[in-house]
Amino acid sequence: MNWPALIVFVLLFVLVTVLGFVAARWRRGNLNHLNEWGLAGRRFGTVVTWFLLGGDLYTAYTFVAVPALVFGAGAIGFFALPYTLMVYPFVYVVFPRLWLVSRKHGYVTASDFVRGRYDSGLLALVVAITGILATMPYIALQLVGIQVVIAAMGFTGSGLVGDLPLIIAFAILAAFTYTSGLRAPALIAVVKDLLIYIVIIAAVIVIPMQLGGYGHIFAAIPEAKLLLKPPSHGNLGSYSAYATLALGSALALFLYPHCVTGVLSANSRRTIKRNMSLLPAYSLVLALIAFLGYMAVAAGVQHDPAYAGWFKQYGTTFAVPALLLHSFPAWFAGVGFAAIAIGALVPAAIMSIAASNLFTRNIYKEYLKRDASPEQEAKTSKVVSLIVKLGALAFIIFLPEQYAIQLQLLGGVWIIQTLPAVVIGLYTRWLHRWALVIGWAAGMAVGTGMVAAQDFKTSIYPLHLGALTVPGYAALYSVIVNIVVAIVFTAIFSALKARAGSDETSPDDYESEAA
């Protein structure tokens, strides 16, 4: 047992637990109403929204998986940098419109907007189910980060004993999320970001000094990991994979329910635009986080006998914990481990709230209890958030971790299929509601089939265009199919004069802001 690391870890964990419960009294509102519990009354300003979205987007899995990808596969892992730079201009333009129309009509989820815009319960239902399906494995993968740091501190054992620390961590998460709603992860995100900045700044200064400077680090990296493999023999290879991963991920990211929840909790569209201007600062941190993968290669942690068992169990995912243990005193490694674990709690809380909001508003209220009061909505959402977290915990404990990773690969492919209904719907209602459902089904089938064809090991699909092979992100390819199918069937339904339904929104809802 690494007692110095464990003590620091526990102290910081206790701090965020206290903050999670105190958050119920912060910016006090009626937490028995879904708008207050699930969106914090839409009152978060620029600073709080910045921390909340940062905690929402840059998760424990980011802290562990991005450098692990660089550690194992090399330069392809840096696709996360251009994708985060592309996503913010996209959100700057598009999502203030969603915030405006949602505030005007009291929408809590993207499915609420789709229901009002297209007058289609079915389309809203498939958007909600897609969001829940894409979110569940994402929550489970946050547990991977906690599992890894728990192992790094020396916790061993099988069965209930081995999983006890993880169960305790998520019991605490469930308790303060139930009590405080979205306010809890918003407040904890401040601590999480401060810890991550401290750890990263220390890492980029101390570790290169230990390894002889950045020149020595780059010199230790095999050339195959430093650069993308150039195209050859009619195959675009890593070039097209890198580009489509970046573009497809940028289009998909803010369609995830937890990102929509973060945006809708802002107090104005100006707050959203300011944050899209400020959040690229996180991309700098992400670049440094990714570079930890190269540092781990140069430090040779994979060859250290002390970590051999952990690398065998967790693979490249153990690269960052091993690097922290290798390079820092045990107590500071505990700070890093706490940053990773808290970085799991923040997004997991927001994700469970977002998933429960989708169930409550677009399944429970739409199909089970249409006359549900605000109090009943909030109570249902709180209970469902507990069930969601319990399901994610059971997934990790009882099923192989690889299943969660495979489903997460599908998560990006699935969630991007909501883009035509949500994003295009913010600008035009030309696409027919039934055509959007058919397009969604086509995109889901094609995208899932592409990943299945790769044995669920990667979401990169080699698309053959005559003599040219274009490996690319299945999400991007499948959403193109989705849009084309929706356009074709819209033309068919228009020719048949099929009823399009009514639109409860008006053009002014997307452009004007009273406050």
User: Which band of pLDDT confidence, cut at 50, 70 and 90, is reported for residue 442?
Assistant: very high
pLDDT above 90 for 123: yes
Across the range 266-272, mean pLDDT stands at: 94
pLDDT above 80 for 156: no
User: Which band of pLDDT confidence, cut at 50, 70 and 90, is reported for residue 212?
Assistant: very high
User: How confident is the model over 303-346, as pLDDT tens digits?
Assistant: 999 888 888 888 888 999 999 999 999 999 999 999 998 988 88
For residue 497, how many other CB atoms are within 10 A of its CB?
7
- pLDDT at residue 379, as a whole number: 95
Of the candidates 462, 393, 453, 358, the one whose C-alpha atom is nearest the C-alpha of residue 108 is 358
- pLDDT at residue 83, as a whole number: 87
> H or E stretch including 473?
strand 468-473
Q: Across 107-121, 268-282, 361-375, which has the greatest mean pLDDT?
A: 107-121
Query: What does each C-alpha distance from 171 to 43, 177, 251 come to in angstroms?
Result: 28, 10, 34
Are 140 and 404 spatial neighbours (Cβ–Cβ below 8 Å)? Answer: yes
> H or E stretch including 63?
helix 60-73
- Structure-block tokens of residue 310: 């952990």
- pLDDT at residue 157, as a whole number: 61
Query: Cα separation of 259 and 251, whole Å?
Result: 12
pLDDT above 70 for 405: no
What residues form DSSP beta bridges with 266?
44
Q: 3-state secondary structure string, 80-147? A: HHHHHHHHHHHHHHHHHHHHHHHHHHCCCCHHHHHHHHHCCHHHHHHHHHHHHHHHHHHHHHHHHHHH
User: Which band of pLDDT confidence, cut at 50, 70 and 90, is reported for residue 38?
Assistant: very high
- pLDDT at residue 161, as a whole number: 62
pLDDT above 50 for 515: no
User: How confident is the model over 481-513, as pLDDT tens digits?
Assistant: 999 999 999 999 999 999 999 999 999 999 866
- pLDDT at residue 271, as a whole number: 95
Torsion of CA 213, 215, 216, 221, to 10 degrees: 130
Query: Cα separation of 134 and 407, whole Å?
Result: 8
- pLDDT at residue 398, as a whole number: 77
Query: Cα separation of 150 and 341, whole Å?
Result: 9
- pLDDT at residue 406, as a whole number: 66
User: How confident is the model over 2-27, as pLDDT tens digits?
Assistant: 899 999 999 999 999 999 999 988 87
Domains of the chain, by residue range, sit at 3-16+35-229+241-411
Task: Report phi then psi at 44, rounded to 5.
Answer: -75, 130
Long-range contact set of residues 166-171: C-beta below 8 Å, sequence gap at least 24: 166/393, 166/396, 166/397, 167/393, 167/397, 169/13, 169/341, 169/345, 170/143, 170/348, 170/389, 170/392, 170/393
Are 393 and 143 spatial neighbours (Cβ–Cβ below 8 Å)? Answer: yes
Query: Across all residues in the chain, what is the average pLDDT?
Result: 91
Q: Across 62-71, 184-193, 283-292, 435-444, which has the greatest mean pLDDT?
A: 435-444
Indicate the CATH number for domain 3-16+35-229+241-411. 1.20.1730.10
User: Which band of pLDDT confidence, cut at 50, 70 and 90, is reported for residue 162?
Assistant: low
User: How confident is the model over 179-208, as pLDDT tens digits?
Assistant: 999 999 999 999 998 999 999 999 999 999
**pTM to 2 decimal places:** 0.93
Across the range 415-443, mean pLDDT stands at: 97
